[in-house]
Structure 1
């Protein structure tokens, strides 16, 4: 009897263990939401570029040699006449000494030829020698004089070359690149460093072919630094490349920063903003993560309140411009509406979700002002 009871209990236990657990109802999924808030941002075409100096020079030694010393690093601020690097001066020094020795020998020969000419003039005056002998001595004197001039010029060149072993800055500026190191043998005129001169600052941008005409007609241009977005600088188009880049099919454009301040440093990222009347008429700037493709167009999820939850409603929108800071919409949503800011590809229409407010506003209306 006890054995049957034990077997029955074990059977019940096994059946209980094999039975499927009851499914637990999942709560509403969280969703990151952002409310479209009114704000004033700059409207128009925006191009990112790099702050450059208007004048950039490749610095090189004027003779071939081995670098034995480098005095500056990338980013160093230099002054005119400051020593930047040196070559091994041994060979140049020996060449200069040899040229000086040749000059001394030529001067000795000149002194001897001059003495001979003066002596033979006295002999001709006394009719001891013929005039032709004096002419030969005068020719020798003139040749010695020419050799002295030649040796003096060679000595000057050799002396200059000895001075060319030192590379000095000819202008005040900043060293932006170094292409040779200590111990390296460099040829004459091979770039060793790049110097960005003090003075005008400009932004180098790449502009598509379709925007070149608008760029040339732009009356006012704004420049904003990524490091100081609140600072606004006036810009002026200085140069448009005559030909497009073969790979990107864009034109290199240099925009001069008219009122540059010391905070505009070389290498900074800057945005060049061209005014756009169509964009300035109004629009909404939404984060790129809020946009997705639907039926060949663009759409966002508008979140309607359902008590403490929100319900996703698909809304088609018209895109006016893709920008670095988001997507500019021409219509489809209104200020004050709430949209899903992330994870839009995992949302289905009518789904109830728990809203989670983002830390920063999603979008802003776009106006003409900056």
Structure 2
């Protein structure tokens, strides 16, 4: 009996000592940081493909042997520059023959016209019959039509002769010549060379449905979707940034149900021909007017069923829970769209042991984005 009482007394003394030790424990140490307000840039990124705005396959319109190739592969050409020359001898002969045919037709027409005038005079004096006059009129009409046919044939022959000199229809960069001097070319020979325009140049990409909806909502609310209100930039395959800004040129009016995207095109200046049709680039789109928002360190943000929250340091070193709405991910933090104004101090370390209203022992941490 005495032993039992002694054991109970010892237990009571032990419990009291533990409680005293607990009560004497210092507040938990935490690290806090001050919330900074920053310009929040959240560009949308897409994989784009470079396309030429204009491209032309150069073809021969007449048949003949190539006499000259007047460019070097990869050369920059202007509209009207001579590219190929086809031997014109046969075409010259066709023009000469057509001129002769036209002269003969004109002579026949004049003779028929003279005969018609004479028969009209004789008919007026009742010297010839109506049938004779009608025959003269028909002969003149046929001769006039033959003259028109001969004139059209001459125009065609001269046009074909002009096709012996093949010129550039657009400015741009021309590829390699597919035929060399001495080869027989014609309308069925296919492309002789290809010209692509390089400045400006187009980047085609698949815009996400979400971005399109956001833009349309802004337009519907009266804000309008001004293509110049967006900042477009490119990242090249070697990791460098393209030094020219672009603008949105066109957005398709249908969403692809298979991909949930809509085709869009942007135009970029390309004075140094850095961008080449067919290459892939990374396109970034963001608004030029970047908003300023509080940015909270990612380590300070907790989440439960009700959403995300942080612990703020208040008076007397007590912490309180604050619900927040987050937006874009910024470096190692979150842009806060609701719940913080900037300037508050949030707990970034020791956060797992906290509860609302608890007293803590704070120390200042490294501000977000500061230091090496």
> Structure 2 length normalisation: TM-score?
0.52
Distance 1:190 1:71, change over 3 A: same
Distance 1:75 1:270, change over 3 A: farther
Give the drift of 1:56. 2.7
More strand by share: 1
Contact 1:44 1:274 in 2 (8 A): yes
Q: Residue in 1 aligned with 2:178?
A: 180
Give the drift of 1:208. 7.0
Q: Residue in 1 aligned with 2:158?
A: 159
Q: Residue in 2 aligned with 1:196?
A: 196
Deviations 1:230-268 (CA, angstroms, capped at 9, x unpaired):
66433322234657699x9986542112xx363354417
Deviations 1:331-366 (CA, angstroms, capped at 9, x unpaired):
9xxxxxxxxxxxxxxxxxxxxxxxxxxxxxxxxx99
Q: Residue in 1 aligned with 2:80?
A: 81
Matched position secondary structure for 1:233: coil
Please tell me the root mean square deviation across aligned C-alpha atoms, in Å: 4.5
User: Structure 1 residue 237 and structure 2 residue 218: aligned?
Assistant: no
Q: Residue in 1 aligned with 2:101?
A: 102
Contact 2:199 2:270 in 1 (8 A): no
Q: Residue in 2 aligned with 1:72?
A: 71
Give the drift of 1:48. 4.8
Matched position secondary structure for 1:113: helix
Matches within 5 A, 1:1-370: 44-49=43-48, 51-175=50-174, 177-178=175-176, 180-182=178-180, 183=183, 185-187=185-187, 190-197=190-197, 200-205=200-205, 220-224=230-234, 226=236, 229=240, 232-240=243-251, 253-257=264-268, 260=269, 262-263=271-272, 265-267=274-276, 270-275=281-286
**Alpha-carbon distance in structure 2 between the residues aligned to 1:81 and 1:184:** 23
**Alpha-carbon distance in structure 1 between the residues aligned to 2:210 and 2:123:** 90
**Alpha-carbon distance in structure 1 between the residues aligned to 2:232 and 2:243:** 7
More off after superposition, 142-151 vs 203-212: 203-212
Contact 1:220 1:235 in 2 (8 A): no
Contact 2:53 2:201 in 1 (8 A): yes
Distance 1:228 1:113, change over 3 A: farther
Distance 1:144 1:122, change over 3 A: same
**Alpha-carbon distance in structure 1 between the residues aligned to 2:260 and 2:91:** 49
Distance 1:231 1:117, change over 3 A: closer
More off after superposition, 210-219 vs 183-192: 210-219
Matched position secondary structure for 1:108: helix
Contact 2:200 2:271 in 1 (8 A): no
Contact 2:209 2:255 in 1 (8 A): no
Q: Residue in 1 aligned with 2:20?
A: none
**Alpha-carbon distance in structure 1 between the residues aligned to 2:369 and 2:165:** 56
Give the drift of 1:66. 4.4
Unaligned runs of 5+ in 1: 1-41, 285-319, 322-327, 332-364
**Alpha-carbon distance in structure 2 between the residues aligned to 1:161 and 1:43:** 59
* Count of paired positions: 249
Matched position secondary structure for 1:234: coil
Unaligned runs of 5+ in 2: 1-40, 217-224, 299-327, 335-367
> Structure 1 length normalisation: TM-score?
0.52
Deviations 1:154-190 (CA, angstroms, capped at 9, x unpaired):
2111211121122112333322x34631225342694
Give the drift of 1:206. 5.5
Contact 2:60 2:185 in 1 (8 A): no
Distance 1:140 1:159, change over 3 A: same
**Alpha-carbon distance in structure 2 between the residues aligned to 1:88 and 1:245:** 54
